[in-house]
Amino acid sequence: MTDIPEDHPRYQSLLTRHRIEEGVEKGITSKQGLIAEGRGEAFDYLLGEETIPSADRAERTAAARLLLADRPVLSVNGNVAALVPGETVKLAEVVGADIEVNLFNRTPERMEAIADHLRDHGASDVKGLAADARIPGLDHERAKVDEDGIFAADVVVVPLEDGDRAEALAEMGKVEIVVDLNPLSRSARTAAIPIIDNIIRAVPNIAEHARDLQGASDEELERIVGEFDREAALAEAERAIRGGDLR
């Protein structure tokens, strides 16, 4: 990346690509993660590679909901670990959440590599390795979670999630905060709080809102959550993608 100047118009997107590539090389990100990244990039390009106002509102709402939660958990897959490891650790600290590695393509090697990578970025406790509970309604490998992590959580942040699992978690009664650049994806449509933004921008922005809201009363946080309109957020993102001016 040293030969790409920071003022290159596609700097952020090239940096993201490079991180995903590195993730695959380190055994963190799956090959399917490369395809997922390509799909995400196309949506991001149409969004103007920026956080649109409805996404910023969703991110503030997510911060408020996380601060209200009793047992919040941030779920981490191979793409999230490659793109925002340090930012995820910081967000977990600000809102008092646990971090759990939860993979679509689960192998013991990738679980360990991701947990190590998160520890290298400052995580003290990484869940997901015990796998002593199951999400009902999913096949064996994809259902594995920690009993004292996602299984017991009231609020779960699930970025770049597969639709089946997002639906199964919602069935369990979890409040889901989904980060996904595709407003039409089943995971985004299942979420209580869909965030249609790049994970690279979303995670630090949720943390910034959480810092800002740290002194707020529960009534104020509940007001923010209550005023959020998920249908409007999805519609606004779809409108921006379908009708946006290409820059």
Residues contributing to the site for ligand PTJ (CB under 6 A): 30, 32-33, 36-37, 39-40, 43, 77-79, 83, 103-105, 160, 162, 179-182, 185, 198-200
Q: 51 or 77, CB closer to ligand PTJ?
A: 77
Q: Which residue number has the CB closest to ligand PTJ?
A: 40
* Cβ at position 210, least distance to ligand PTJ in Å: 19
The torsion region of residue 27 among left (phi > 0), alpha (psi -120 to 50) and beta comes to left
Q: What are phi and psi of 164, to 5 degrees?
A: -60, -45
**Residues with Cβ within 8 Å of residue 121, at least 6 apart in sequence:** 85, 86, 88, 89
Q: 186 or 222, CB closer to ligand PTJ?
A: 186
* Cβ at position 185, least distance to ligand PTJ in Å: 4
**Two tokens, residue 136:** 């009902």
- Rounded to whole angstroms, how far apart are CA atoms 143 and 159? 16
Q: 153 or 181, CB closer to ligand PTJ?
A: 181
Q: What are phi and psi of 204, to 5 degrees?
A: -65, -30
3-state secondary structure of 176: strand
Q: 36 or 207, CB closer to ligand PTJ?
A: 36
* Cβ at position 219, least distance to ligand PTJ in Å: 32
- Rounded to whole angstroms, how far apart are CA atoms 5 and 197? 24
Burial of 201 (0-12, 13-18, 19+ CB in 10 A): buried
**Two tokens, residue 216:** 């707020």
* Cβ at position 137, least distance to ligand PTJ in Å: 17
* Cβ at position 221, least distance to ligand PTJ in Å: 25
Q: 47 or 224, CB closer to ligand PTJ?
A: 47
